[in-house]
Amino acid sequence: MSNVPTALSSLHWRLLTLSDLDVMEALHRLSMEGMGPQMVKPESRSFLVSLLQGRGSVIGAWAGSDLVAYGVLQHDLLPEDDPRHHLGLSAQQPLAKLAGAAVAPTWRRQGLQRALVAKRVACAGNDRVLFATAAPENTASWHNLLACGFTVRALEYRYGGFARYLLVRDAASLLLHNEAVSTGVGCELDGAALSEQQALFLQGWHGVLPGSTVGSLRLLPPPVGVR
Ligand SMILES: CC(C)(COP(=O)(O)OP(=O)(O)OC[C@H]1O[C@@H](n2cnc3c(N)ncnc32)[C@H](O)[C@@H]1OP(=O)(O)O)[C@@H](O)C(=O)NCCC(=O)NCCS
């Protein structure tokens, strides 16, 4: 890819295995330093083990022998984590979750998380609906998901009562991205106006693009005939 910055083009990518558990856990802890659970969910070592043992795939970016970033694609979900019913999807709809990403502090702001989202989208295939959660305050995280075709569908209180956007990538989200880019219409709400955002999500609106001020979100009504 010609638009990959030079430092990123020197990285190599491979799926993590159980033998990478310690480095994965170390990067998870390092990436969260200074961030509370309102921003990012701290994961247990046993959850990371379960991912590496087959509940998901974890793609890692390596600089030599150093793991500098990883992203999780989880397909084996707990019932309480499964949004199919909430989204009006059948239980047979293939689905997977982008269930966490970490970038080493010295490698940030170069597009690595966005590359990790794009790689997991490609890896999931076309028939799978994808979803992720992101704290409204974690703008880097949800901006990257919006840039890769996800839209914000709901505001939920998860992981001990912390606000999280539910972001989904499906036919409706891709349709609305095209509409937002071609028409420039929509309604912009401030990041502090979460209850107003929530009222629109409940009417089927999607958060499609970052707004013009820090933390704000541009929303569009649902496409006709599709929620
Ligand atoms: C969130 C995180 C993964 C971002 O990684 P990254 O590789 O620096 O992100 P990217 O370079 O791909 O980000 C690109 C976008 O995010 C923005 N961004 C990145 N870091 C940012 C920050 N600290 N504050 C505000 N915006 C930020 C960039 O400006 C860019 O947005 P733009 O294209 O609209 O300008 C990284 O900060 C991290 O590991 N955080 C701790 C763990 C975490 O929050 N994981 C995600 C939730 S599970």
pLDDT digit string (tens) for 79-114? 989 999 888 899 999 999 999 999 999 999 999 999
Q: Which residues, 6+ apart, have CB-to-CB distance to 113 below 8 Å? A: 69, 71, 101, 103, 140, 141, 144
| 8 CB within 6 A, ligand 1 | no
Minimum CA distance residue for ligand 1 atom 34? 143
Given pLDDT bands bounded at 50, 70 and 90, which one contains residue 2?
Answer: very low
69: pLDDT strictly greater than 90:
yes
Indicate the pTM of the whole model. 0.93
Q: Can you tell me which residue has the tokens 């704000």?
A: 216
Please name each of the domains of the chain with its CATH number.
Answer: 6-220 (3.40.630.30)
| 38 CB within 6 A, ligand 1 | no
Indicate which atom in ligand 1 lies nearest the CA of residue 115: 12
Q: Which residues, 6+ apart, have CB-to-CB distance to 101 below 8 Å? A: 69, 70, 71, 72, 113, 116, 117, 141
- Mean pLDDT, the chain, as a whole number? 93
Indicate which atom in ligand 1 lies nearest the CA of residue 132: 48
Please give the backbone phi and psi of residue 56, each rounded to the nearest 5 degrees, phi first: -165, -175
Given pLDDT bands bounded at 50, 70 and 90, which one contains residue 58?
Answer: very high
From the list 60, 106, 99, the residue with the least C-alpha distance to 81 is 99
Measured in angstroms, how far is the CA atom of residue 71 from the centroid of ligand 1? 13
Whole-number percent of the chain with pLDDT over 70: 94
Pairing relationship of beta strands 162-169 and 217-220 according to DSSP bridges: unpaired
Given pLDDT bands bounded at 50, 70 and 90, which one contains residue 222?
Answer: confident
From the list 81, 83, 99, the residue with the least C-alpha distance to 91 is 83
Between CA 8 and CA 4 the distance in angstroms is: 6
Measured in angstroms, how far is the CA atom of residue 116 from the centroid of ligand 1? 11
| Cα→Cα distances 150→29, 89, 174, 208, 224, Å | 26, 16, 7, 8, 18
